[in-house]
Amino acid sequence: MKALAVAASIALLPGIAHAEERDYCPERPGIGTPACTIAPGRVSIETGLVDWTREDDSSLRSDTVLIGDTLIRIGLTDTVEAQVGWTPFGHVRTRDKTSAAIDRADRVGDVLLGFKANLHNPDGSGVSAAIHPFVTLPVGRGPVGAGDWGAGLVVPVTYDLSDALNLEFSPELDAAVDQDGKGRHLAYSGTVGLGVAITPAVTGTIEFQTLRDDDPSGATTQALTGISFGWMANDALQLDIGGAIGLNHASPDGEIYLGLSRRF
């Protein structure tokens, strides 16, 4: 009888593992942050293959290209994940419109360390909420790296309006690095988005963000809108494309990016 019970338990293991599996929920693409977390024992590698941002005003034009901007998420428990992020290469080209002088800089970016703890529905279904504190370490140098350590807290909340519609809200509070790379100041933002399941494999998201940055060199308020699409090639691989445009003079003019996410 004991042997029979052991055999029955072994036979049930695949079914149990399957029942505990949850849908893959990458943080890419988009401006906001989802509330879902990676299942324990799983690892998600989410990489921006290329990301181009343009800023243009009356005196300067700046183009920033990031290659391989990567976030690694590691499931620690059913509701908690660890995060490590790094930008291995960034290129910044700045042109002075008055003198026509051009400056170029190739740098690595800073390292992000953080965790996300889900407070309700870690798979992101129904109403889901989480807290996501993080710090950034000054591994890189300006203009790609910030030049000093920073910290922040995101409290993402998502709500399924229906099987095809998902509402997201991502308030964020930061100790952002000063523009001169020495010291920190207050910055805070709010991002609201609507996700749409276009097909079982394709999702689209439209988002709006306002960001207040109280830098000592001059406080600014940015307003952005973005649109992104993700395609789940299979249950562990997503490809994405997206972009954003600035809605006021203080915001970057535009951003376009491509990326992929893979779960192991």
Instruction: Please write the tens of the pLDDT for every residue from 30-58.
Output: 999 999 999 999 999 999 999 999 999 88
What pLDDT is recorded for position 58? 81
* Structural tokens at position 50: 């290329």
Task: Give the separation between CA 194 and CA 102, rounded to whole angstroms.
Answer: 40
CA nearest neighbour of 22 among 7, 41, 5 = 41
Mean pLDDT of 196-214: 97
Q: Pick left, alpha or beta for residue 121 (phi over 0 → left; psi -120 to 50 → alpha; otherwise beta).
A: left
**What number of other Cβ atoms are within 10 A of residue 93's Cβ?**
13
Residue 110 CA to its chain's centroid (Å): 15
Q: Give tens-digit pLDDT for 139-184.
A: 998 899 999 999 999 999 999 999 999 999 999 999 999 999 999 9
Residue type, 5: A
Task: Give the strand pairing for 111-120 and 80-86.
Answer: antiparallel
pTM for the complete prediction? 0.89
Q: CA distances (Å), 15 to each of 21, 78, 235, 249, in order? A: 10, 18, 17, 56
pLDDT at 4 over 50: no
pLDDT at 161: 97
> Per-residue pLDDT for 9 more than 70?
no
CATH number for region 22-263: 2.40.160.40
> What are the beta bridge partners of residue 22?
none
- Taking only the tens place, the pLDDT of each residue in 70-123 is 999 999 999 999 999 999 999 999 999 888 899 999 999 999 999 999 999 999
Q: Are 222 and 213 in contact (CB under 8 A)?
A: yes
Segments in 64-184 forming alpha helices (H)? none
- Pairing of the two strands 60-75 and 202-213: unpaired
- In the chain, domain spans: 22-263
Q: Which helix (H) or strand (E) holds 72?
A: strand 60-75
User: Which bin fits 8, alpha (ψ -120 to 50), beta or left (φ > 0)?
Assistant: alpha
Exposure of 112 by Cβ count < 10 A (0-12 exposed, 13-18 middle, 19+ buried)?
buried
Helix or strand holding residue 92 (H, E):
strand 89-96
Closest Cα partner for 125 from 233, 37, 242?
A: 37
End-to-end CA distance of the chain: 38
Q: At residue 145, what is the residue type? A: G
